Amino acid sequence: MGTTRSTAAALAWLAFLMAPLLAAAPAETVAVAPGASYDGRGFAYTIALDAEQPRHRRYLLSYPSPLETALESNNTIPAEYYVPANLQPGEPGRPAVIVLHILNGSYELERTLCTVLAENGIPAVMFMLPYYGERGGAGGRQHLLNDLSLFTQCLEQALLDIRRTADVLATRPEVDAGRLGVSGISLGAILAASACGVEPRLQRAAMILGGGELQKILDTAREARGLKAALGRLTGEQRQAVEASLARVEPLGHAGALRRLASGGRLLMINAAEDEVIPPASTRALAEAAGVAGDVVWLPGLGHYTAMAALPEILSRSVAFFAADLPASIVPPPATAAAERAPLLALVEVLQQAVAMLERSPGEGRCHLLDGTATIQSAKAKEPTTYRVAFARGSGSRFSLTAEPVPEVGTLRLGNGVMPWLVARDGTLFLGSEGHDPSAGLGPLLDAGQLLRLRVVAGAALALASAPEVFAQHLQVVDAAPEGAPERLLEFTLTHPRVKGQGRLRLQRDTLSPREISFDVAGVRGSLAVRQWAVDTISSAEMFREPSAEAVRAVPQQDLLRMMAAMLNFLMERAR
């Protein structure tokens, strides 16, 4: 029997690894014996290669739900399975993660997490919850959000579907069936917590923006208004049935399983400190019940939706958490050299560079540089406006900025080297030398709302950078440069329902640094001619020092910082 099993495993590996080489490879059907399923019932699933990227492959899975409902389409589970591109036959099995999606069912966040996991060596699968997508037919999710009985049935069925998905992963030759994990965001995090109590094979759980006290969450969350209204229309008997169903999927009811994981360091909770959907008190209730009250990763200053600003951190922590179970011999798929990157990945690299300039402070003796001329025209403007911007960001609080023309100012010149400085319209240099404190900076004085918007945009851009193919259905990029040309010429088209447009980028081939950018997106047309663009390059102290001037005035440092912050807040508001 051992020889037969080894031969079958080898054949499975061979078929799996050869699939990318076969054009339009047909779906493979895999039978799962009764003894290999959680409920003792045999079933079969199909797996077919859907897309191949440099560092991962995506397969489409289809398998029956353990629960049959009146809606036939809801009885089949469609799933997407992401695996590393460098799988090798004979290597040890890897941990695998089941990823559960959010309430609104847009799937981009979950696909991003699956992609990042796979590109770091960890297979991951996400499936559509009951009544979502093709499972629910026309208006399935909307019916779900206005029918409390159907919603609670969805949650209970979802737990069974998680168990069936664990059955599927346990059959995969590249997976270590003893190292299965689960992760979820928002609603998915709630289900992930409860799943740990019903599926003993789940050995790790990462819950993102989740909590306990499900009834309280439904009572307070704006997204659950339809469900709350539906609760008021139920008869006493119907209400009791719904409450009993909610109790069965309540995460607090599965605290024992969570404590078991937590005791071995295998439970991760990441939550927004100002969450307006999952009350922080509900998060704390679950954390205390699970024994991790002091270990929750709180995202300060962020809410349920602005937590997008921390998406890079969330992805990084999630990968590190699940990668702890990877065998020592496993290495992630290698990255692609910049000059060889596909057009979409080259565009993503430019986005990463732009975000780094705003978000990442360079090290001592290093800086970020941007010097260029931008021309912008909005749909409401009669004429375009041209701006010149020169920006250098150094380590700590060092920076220099020149921008012109700025309304009511003309040429704006300010910075912080040894001390903060600003050049007034009449050429007078103001130095913040009185009461000088080297540790003081602009950060606390800048508009928190504007900074949060920048962080959210940066987080979204880095999400695109982490898993660009997730957004490929809405973003098409081609390289129009002749082969062997010293520069790349990327032409992109945006077809998202909310944002449409097109543009082009001329890039240096080896570093992918932009030389020229033009765009016509969402009613805004513009271009940027770049003179300098560098991330983490060599700097000198002179770059941030105040310029020479005939008239110099020493002023209190804090007063000057407040004036500089007011100007920068004005610029951010204009940009928004």
Q: Which residues contact 530 (CB under 8 A, 6 or more apart)?
A: 370, 371, 372, 513, 514, 515, 516, 517
Which residues are 503's β-sheet partners?
492, 519
What global pTM score does this model have? 0.76
Residue 140 has pLDDT above 80, yes or no: no
Tens of pLDDT, residues 438-491: 888 778 877 788 778 777 777 777 776 677 777 777 888 999 998 888 899 999
Element (H, E) at 36: none
The residue with greater pLDDT, 325 or 236, is 325
pLDDT level of residue 337 (50, 70, 90 thresholds): low
Q: What is the pLDDT of residues 81-101, one digit of tens each?
A: 999 999 988 899 999 999 999
Mean pLDDT to the nearest integer, 253-272: 97
Q: Cα–Cα distances in Å, from 63 out to 202, 325, 538?
A: 20, 27, 55
Residue 495 has which token pair?
């077809």
What are the extents of the domains in the chain?
45-323, 340-575
As to burial, measured by CB atoms within 10 angstroms (0-12 exposed, 13-18 middle, 19+ buried), residue 232 is: exposed
CA distances to 175, 195, 199, 359 from 180, in Å = 8, 12, 10, 35
pLDDT tier for residue 107 given thresholds of 50, 70 and 90: confident
Residue 10 has pLDDT above 70, yes or no: no
Write the CA distances from 528 to 145, 253, 492, integer angstroms: 45, 56, 16
Going by pLDDT thresholds of 50, 70 and 90, the confidence category of residue 8 is: very low
Q: What is the pLDDT of residue 338?
A: 60
How many Cβ atoms are within 10 Å of 21's Cβ, its own excluded? Answer: 9
> Class assignment of domain 340-575?
mainly beta
Q: Say if residue 405 is preceded by a cis peptide, omega within 30 of 0.
A: yes
pLDDT at residue 89 in the model: 87
Q: What average pLDDT does the structure give for the chain?
A: 87
Angle between helices 236-249 and 187-198 (to 10 degrees): 80
Residues 6+ apart with CB under 8 A from 177: 93, 169, 170, 201
More confident residue, 182 or 395: 182
Quote the radius of gyration of the chain (alpha carbons, Å): 27
Query: Could you say which architecture CATH assigns to the domain 45-323?
Result: 3-Layer(aba) Sandwich (3.40)
The pLDDT value given to residue 483: 83
